[in-house]
Homo-oligomer: A and B are copies of this chain.
Amino acid sequence: MTTIKDIARIAGVSVATVSRVINESGYVNTDTRKKVEEAIKLMNYSPNEVARSLYKKKSKLIGLLLPDITNPFFPQLARGVEDRLQEHGYRLIFGNSDENEDKELDYIRTFVQNNVIGVISSTNFPDSDTYLNLNIPIVFLDRTSNESPSVYADGREGGRIAAQEIIARGSKHITILQGPAHIKPAQDRFQGAVEVFEELGMTYHVIQTSSFSYIEAGYWAKILFEQHLETDGVIASNDIVATAVLQEAHRLGKSVPQDVQIIGYDDIPLSSLLSPSLSTIRQPAYDMGREAGGLLIKLIEQDKVDEKIIQLPVSFVERETTRRK
């Protein structure tokens, strides 16, 4: 078995120097470090457990980038990531990009400067140079890009289910609220819903929205009924917008679900507390977070990971804003 003395001899340095390199403590000049690292590689040397734990301790930090922590979907994701990582002794730091590419780049830089050994990112810009140039493991969460490791829910299927359920429950004049164009999961669920209408040859209306903001949600809800007062079924872009639609329907004296059925998306915690409680397409946010944490740990700890792309199923949660079938 190779010992630290062997490495020191091979590299032509003292044992103390090798120890400093392994533990990343104290100064070692670049050339010397290189020599030691090459010796370690050559000998396939595995430092003893104490040294290893010291080494690992320093580097068990993971960065998690979220696009918008004020959207209740993302804190659920974050809790899943956090719980899974903590069970394995990893620690987490968060960044909030506010869906701004510059802010995102700045957070990724901060993560790297702070020696994170992996990144989980719910980015709107998975194909940007930021990620291409990052030479540590990355998992995209609630996002996906080509063959990159990623964990996401099946948005297209979610959109299909929403359309099928609202049609099966008797709505004839259905309006789809299309989520922000730059958020791919929002477009996936929209496309899924549209597919069903096209397959059935049914007409439908679309209201385009540009954000998931709470303030604007009320605005989209007003526009919806102004443009399509006959609407008796709404497929909302997420639960926040669905909540605003429910409020606007009540304001207009419409009964939910008798006059208008509403289906949300996400199943944020407050959905079940609304009155009537919100029927919605559930994304398993907490589980998605856990899966992303698990995948990242594999990428860090294992040489080869077979299943790098994990798609989780979505499901219809029947509550009170839809009628019985």
Contact = CB atoms under 8 A, between A and B. Distances in A.
Interface in A93-115: 93-96, 103, 106-107, 110, 113-115
A274 interface: yes
A94 B94 contact: yes
Interface stretch (A68-76, A190-198, A296-304): A68-76
Contacts of A107: 91
A214 B247 CA distance: 21
Given A110-B61, A273-B243, A78 B96 contact: yes
A270 interface: yes
A305 to B, nearest CB: 26
Contact of A240 (B58, B110, B270): B270
Contact of A91 (B78, B110, B270): B110
Interface in A74-98: 75-76, 78-79, 82, 86, 91-96
Nearest to A96: B82
Contacts of A251: 275
Contacts of A170: none
Contact of A247 (B78, B115, B275): B275
Copies of this chain, whole number: 2
B79 A69 contact: yes
Contacts of A276: 250
A168 to B, nearest CB: 26
Nearest to A251: B275
Contacts of A214: 269-270, 272-273
Nearest to A244: B273
A114 B92 CA distance: 12
Contacts of A269: 70, 214-215
B96 A95 contact: no
A23 to B, nearest CB: 14
Contact of A114 (B61, B106, B243): B61
A250 to B, nearest CB: 4
Contact of A93 (B72, B114, B240, B275): B114
A277 interface: yes
B69 A69 contact: yes
A273 B240 contact: yes
Interface string A195-216: 0000000000000000000110
A273 B72 contact: no
Most buried by B among A86, A93, A113, A277: A93
Interface in A209-245: 214-215, 217-218, 240, 243-244
A29 interface: yes
A93 B113 CA distance: 12
Given A69-B78, A93-B93, A95-B94, A250 B275 contact: yes
A273 B218 contact: yes
A246 interface: yes
7 contacts: A61-B110, A70-B269, A91-B110, A93-B93, A93-B94, A214-B270, A247-B273
